[in-house]
Structure 1
Amino acid sequence: MEITFLGTSSAVHSYTRNHPGIILKAFGEVMLFDCGESTQRQLIYAKISPMKISKIFISHYHGDHILGLPGLLQSLNFRGREKPLTIYGPKGLKKVENAIYSLGYCKFDFPIEFIEISSGTILETDEYILKSQEVMHNVTNLAYSIEEKKKPRFLRNKAIELGVPVGPLFGKLHNGEEVEVNGKIIKPEQVLGDARKGIKITYSGDTRPCEEMIEFAKNSTLLIHESTYTLEDDDKARENFHSTSQDAATIAKCSNTKRLVLTHISTRYTDTEDLLKEAKKVFENVEVADDLMTIEILSA
């Protein structure tokens, strides 16, 4: 899996930070989480073709998370997109859809589906499961997670002992199918090891620290969590329903997360050293995201 941060600022742009947007390349797909203003320009800098995006997930409808969407969609149309695009978001997405179609002379020649969602499983394929969870903000906000479905190890020697010939039957057993060998049925559980945990990536959107976020992020390989303020501005974090870097670190620690990346940084901090130091006091494996930073996570 590969994650690219297109924008890492909070409500206001800065010289070095764009509005929120995260690209995930995984399972042969390109997915976009949030679409702040200038997202399509950031895609150019990141050398990622917007034409390859198959799905867009919106956490909530504050402007810094959605104002890049109308322009991105119109640009896709200008470039001759034909492939369908699906956009997911919390209740209120239909109003956003209507607003987009009302902007200027707006016309799309490719299929776009807007799907309103709530907490729960959004998508499940043979390769991954993608979920959402409402967390604590001053408007409805959904956190998202995507988890790899990892097959148990195939016990080759055990299969051979049971008389399974080397070849296509190995693949069928590994995929969970029973096979017949010399009149005897061999079941997958006879030749498969213990269940294995796949990569899990969790994105908070905007939120105050809450039990729902801890539970949702449980056992994440990577947690991308908003970190708008330092402890010095904790009163502003509470007032605006955001998190401090220490809050994010506490979520990571309590959820047994392996790695934490802080994003959604207020423009009041031109130097993020204090954000990082405060987080490290609670959770060591943490870094602050920068625009166009890319992280690759390899399956074990």
Structure 2
Amino acid sequence: MSNRELIVLGTSSAVPTRARNHNGYFLRWDDQGFLFDPGEGTQRQMRLAGVSAHDVTTICVTHFHGDHCLGLPGVIQRIARDGVPHEVRALYPASGEDYWLRLRHATAFADTSKVTPHPVEGEVTTLRSAGLTLTARPLSHPVDAYGYRLDEPSGRRMIPAELARYGISGAQVGELQREGRLGAVTLEQVSEPRRGQSMAFVMDTRLCDGVHALAEGVDLLVIESTFLTPEAALAHEYGHLTAAQAGQVAAEAGVRKLVLTHFSERYGHDDERRFAEEAAKAYAGDIVVARDLMRVPVPKRRNPATGPSRP
């Protein structure tokens, strides 16, 4: 059974609050785990959320402001301490190599060779692994910042009734999938298109081409909405988005589910309704205003008969 969900570890921006930890997001995607922007306190939040160091297969850092990376030393030391046996890829802006090395070796501990660096630079960086494509694109922030997108390739779903009609079962199904036909029966006769699922992670940025390219058509968009519209000028000055802009991006990109997060400490839980209302002025789809330790499932696959639909 598919197990795909976002576990929110922290939702605050530069300053944590009593209710919101610094950034941190764990995407569980079947047997892979993507840890995005581990801010200060992420190791503790992982324990509270039931996320193990063994669950992490990839770490993605958008940029080297503290609320997006100060949790790295603890997470990496936990990977080492717990003896994680598999490779853990770490993606981060190449221009921040010095910061990566400082965080990677922040204290004395029994190290691990399992964490492998993958610095990203240029307009598009792509990594492929286990049937998934992970893409990084530049954003617009005072320091080099990248957003990330995860894509599953499209495929075909077998139709049990059609398999039964042609008397195909057991090992024959696998042969048909591999070869594209079994005798006179083609794969297209007993299957239907299955659209691959996707998600995008967009943090600290002004509106730019990278934001729109990352968000285009994704099932799940996790995006910063640091400010509300009255602070739009401040948002632009510091390289951030408002909730209204996040909603506009989601609407134009045909996003299926929108997760708003990375809130300025000036806002409390009583303001959550305002964030949702601002985003909803442009976006009519499913809006989630993130809270720490919340779990957000990746939307179920679209019905292939109806195809892609924009909210």
Above 0.5 in TM-score?
yes
Give yes or no for contact 2:11–2:292 (8 Å, CA) kept in 1.
yes
Select between 99-108 and 115-124 the one with higher mean Cα deviation.
99-108
- The Cα of 1:83 is off from its aligned counterpart by 3.3
Aligned to 1:21: 24
Aligned to 1:64: 67
CA 16–28 in structure 1, closer or farther in 2 if over 3 Å, else same: same
Alignment of 1:99 with 2:99, yes or no, is no
TM-score normalized by the length of structure 1: 0.89
For 2:120 and 2:16, locate their aligned partners in 1 and report how far apart those are by CA, in whole Å: 28
| Offset from partner CA, 1:258-285 (integer Å, 9 cap, x none) | 1111000000011323222211222133
Equivalent position amino acid for 1:121 in 2: T
Segments of 5+ residues of structure 2 without an aligned counterpart are 302-311
Q: Secondary structure at the match of 2:265?
A: coil
Give yes or no for contact 2:175–2:182 (8 Å, CA) kept in 1.
no
Select between 90-99 and 224-233 the one with higher mean Cα deviation.
90-99
Aligned to 1:217: 215
Aligned to 2:46: 43
Q: Secondary structure at the match of 2:50?
A: coil
Q: Secondary structure at the match of 2:57?
A: strand
For 2:116 and 2:64, locate their aligned partners in 1 and report how far apart those are by CA, in whole Å: 17
CA 49–117 in structure 1, closer or farther in 2 if over 3 Å, else same: same
Q: Secondary structure at the match of 2:94?
A: coil
Aligned to 1:144: 148
- The Cα of 1:93 is off from its aligned counterpart by 4.9
CA 51–93 in structure 1, closer or farther in 2 if over 3 Å, else same: farther
After superposition, the CA RMSD in angstroms is 2.2
Equivalent position amino acid for 1:89 in 2: Y
Aligned to 2:281: 281
For 2:115 and 2:57, locate their aligned partners in 1 and report how far apart those are by CA, in whole Å: 10
For 2:105 and 2:222, locate their aligned partners in 1 and report how far apart those are by CA, in whole Å: 33
For 2:141 and 2:261, locate their aligned partners in 1 and report how far apart those are by CA, in whole Å: 16
Give yes or no for contact 1:34–1:57 (8 Å, CA) kept in 2.
yes
TM-score normalized by the length of structure 2: 0.86
For 2:171 and 2:78, locate their aligned partners in 1 and report how far apart those are by CA, in whole Å: 46
The match for 1:177 among 172, 175, 179 is: 179
Select between 85-94 and 137-146 the one with higher mean Cα deviation.
85-94
Q: Secondary structure at the match of 1:201?
A: strand
CA 117–165 in structure 1, closer or farther in 2 if over 3 Å, else same: same
| Structure number with bigger Rg | 1
Give yes or no for contact 2:226–2:263 (8 Å, CA) kept in 1.
yes
Aligned to 1:290: 291
Equivalent position amino acid for 1:142 in 2: Y
Give yes or no for contact 1:3–1:25 (8 Å, CA) kept in 2.
yes
Residue identity over aligned pairs, in percent, reads 30
Aligned to 2:34: 31
Select between 206-215 and 117-126 the one with higher mean Cα deviation.
117-126
Equivalent position amino acid for 1:40 in 2: Q
The match for 2:127 among 122, 128, 132 is: 122
- The Cα of 1:223 is off from its aligned counterpart by 0.9
For 2:9 and 2:86, locate their aligned partners in 1 and report how far apart those are by CA, in whole Å: 23
| Offset from partner CA, 1:223-262 (integer Å, 9 cap, x none) | 1110000111111101001000001000000001111110
How many pairs does the alignment contain?
293
Segments of 5+ residues of structure 1 without an aligned counterpart are none
Select between 35-44 and 273-282 the one with higher mean Cα deviation.
273-282
- The Cα of 1:160 is off from its aligned counterpart by 6.5
- The Cα of 1:75 is off from its aligned counterpart by 2.8
Select between 256-265 and 267-276 the one with higher mean Cα deviation.
267-276
Select between 35-44 and 90-99 the one with higher mean Cα deviation.
90-99
- The Cα of 1:151 is off from its aligned counterpart by 2.5
Q: Secondary structure at the match of 2:296?
A: strand
The match for 1:168 among 168, 171, 185 is: 171
For 1:3 and 1:250, locate their aligned partners in 2 and report how far apart those are by CA, in whole Å: 22
Aligned to 1:236: 234
